[in-house]
């Protein structure tokens, strides 16, 4: 193999890569928050909503879980401007990723709700609580505890999946790496560095989510015992 490794291109462009990492993290955090909110609201509708609301949520879940994320991204970025809704690359990325994640989190939280004893709902109603209060005060916490491992895995998938937004020129890590590679022609070195960065991000996110889950589960068990 006649190849001379030159990592100068990586070190020289480290500030650009760092900016890409920051945008990747920012996109991930915003999308995780929005996707979780969609999941919590959608799961409530599936559990307590009217039939027409259930039909809408189920349709949304089926559409976005059974179509490619890349096509959804193109629809948001290229399709919506055709009807007068232009979006910047970063905004389109948040919309597409958040809507996609929301469809998955709805199903994950719904599955978590199935693991909560049904008698808790009857107990809440006997106390005169509304369906919303029963959901928020009684069902949601144990459902999240049950579904947190699946949610964590989905969040990691999202973090790694942010690379797809490079296709619409959102300046996250993959897009920055592609731009650097096109100028330096050091594909091996650039993408090896990017692989290492994504691995570091993924392992760090796993550690953070694990710590959150331990604290979350401990607080839940303490509340039950108390």
DSSP line for 135-148: IIIIIHHHHHHHHH
Interatomic CA distance for residues 46 and 27, integer angstroms: 28
Which candidate, 68, 88, 48, places its Cα nearest to that of 170? 88
- Name the domain count of the chain: 1
The CATH number for 220's domain is 1.10.3720.10
Give the domain range for residue 50: 8-225
**Does residue 44 lie within any of the structural domains?**
yes
**Does residue 1 lie within any of the structural domains?**
no
In the predicted structure, residue 224 carries a pLDDT above the cut 80: no
The 3-state secondary structure of 171-205, one letter per residue: CCHHHHHHHHHHHHCCHHHHHHHHHHHHHHHHHHH
pLDDT tens-place string over residues 168-200: 888 889 999 998 888 888 889 899 999 999 999
pLDDT band at 46 (very low <50, low <70, confident <90, very high): very high
pLDDT tens-place string over residues 69-109: 999 999 999 999 989 888 999 999 999 999 999 999 999 99
Enter the pTM of the model: 0.89
């Amino acid at each position: 193999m006649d190849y001379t490794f030159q990592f100068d291109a990586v070190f020289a462009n480290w500030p650009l890569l760092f900016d890409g990492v920051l945008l990747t993290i920012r996109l991930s955090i915003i999308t995780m928050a929005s996707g979780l909110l969609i999941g919590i609201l959608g799961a409530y509708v599936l559990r307590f909503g009217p039939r027409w609301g259930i039909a809408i949520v189920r349709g949304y879940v089926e559409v976005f879980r059974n179509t490619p994320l890349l096509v959804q991204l193109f629809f948001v970025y290229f399709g919506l401007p055709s009807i007068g809704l232009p979006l910047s690359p970063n905004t389109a990325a948040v919309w597409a990723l958040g809507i996609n994640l929301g469809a998955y989190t709805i199903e994950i939280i719904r599955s978590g709700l199935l693991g909560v004893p049904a008698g808790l709902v009857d107990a809440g109603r006997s106390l005169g609580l509304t369906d919303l209060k029963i959901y928020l005060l009684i069902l949601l916490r144990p459902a999240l505890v049950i579904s947190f491992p699946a949610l964590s895995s989905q969040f990691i998938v999202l973090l790694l999946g942010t690379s797809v937004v490079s296709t619409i020129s959102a300046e996250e890590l993959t897009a920055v790496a592609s731009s650097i590679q096109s100028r330096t022609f050091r594909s091996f070195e650039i993408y090896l560095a990017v692989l290492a960065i994504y691995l570091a991000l993924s392992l760090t996110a796993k550690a953070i989510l694990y710590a959150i889950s331990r604290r979350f589960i401990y607080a839940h068990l303490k509340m039950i015992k108390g």
